[in-house]
Amino acid sequence: MVHLYKAYSERLDIVGDPDAIVVSREHTVKHRVFVADDQKEMLRTVAAAIWDQFQIVGMAGNGREVLKLVPILHPEILVLDIVMPVVNGIETALRLKASGAPPKIVFLTVYEDRDFVDAAFAAGANAYVLKSHLSTELVPAIQSVLRGCPFVSACMQSATPHSSRL
């Protein structure tokens, strides 16, 4: 037991007596997030905005990659752009929904049109965040969805009758 303690105490952040080992709780488990956007700079921006609060388990540049990787990686949350090549975000969400065990979906988009909001929620979205509000609303949107509450960007709520149903 002492040998294992010495070998792993530094790497695993183990504290305490070798006969009564407690693994430090400082390193809490983060919620698993997958991010999809066709613009690499946006992927970097999203990653920078959420990395300290969530574990990013994967990234993709189109819907086909999302459909291939999400069933393997099992993220809790999928941050998804609407317009992407190969398979768009709405179709990707619909296919994941049809699979029976989709992650919770947060659409991150530039579209402020009510029809896009309605289409996103019809496809299985749990949140709708505008890219222009990414820095202030993406983390709260993910947290809201994890609590089981839908989220729509604040600036969309007053202009969108759909949001009153949320």
User: Would residue 19 count as lying in a domain?
Assistant: no
User: Would residue 18 count as lying in a domain?
Assistant: no
Task: Calculate the dihedral angle through the C-alpha atoms of 133, 102, 67, 35, rounding to the nearest 10 degrees.
Answer: 30
Here the CATH number for the domain that contains residue 104 is 3.40.50.2300
| Domain range enclosing 105 | 28-165
pLDDT number for residue 19: 45
pLDDT in tens, the chain (166 residues): 334 334 444 444 434 444 444 443 445 678 999 999 999 999 999 999 999 999 999 999 999 999 999 999 999 999 999 999 999 999 999 999 998 878 999 999 999 989 999 999 999 999 999 999 999 999 999 999 999 999 999 887 754 444 434 4
User: Would residue 152 count as lying in a domain?
Assistant: yes
Give Cα 145 distance to the centre of its chain: 9
pLDDT number for residue 27: 53
Q: How far apart are CA 107 and CA 94, in angstroms?
A: 13
pTM exceeds 0.85, yes or no? no
pLDDT number for residue 142: 96
Q: How many helices (H) and strands (E) does the chain have?
A: 7, 8
Placement of tokens 């999809």 in the chain: 36
What domain count does the chain have?
Answer: 1
User: Would residue 21 count as lying in a domain?
Assistant: no
CB atoms within 10 A of CB 62: 19
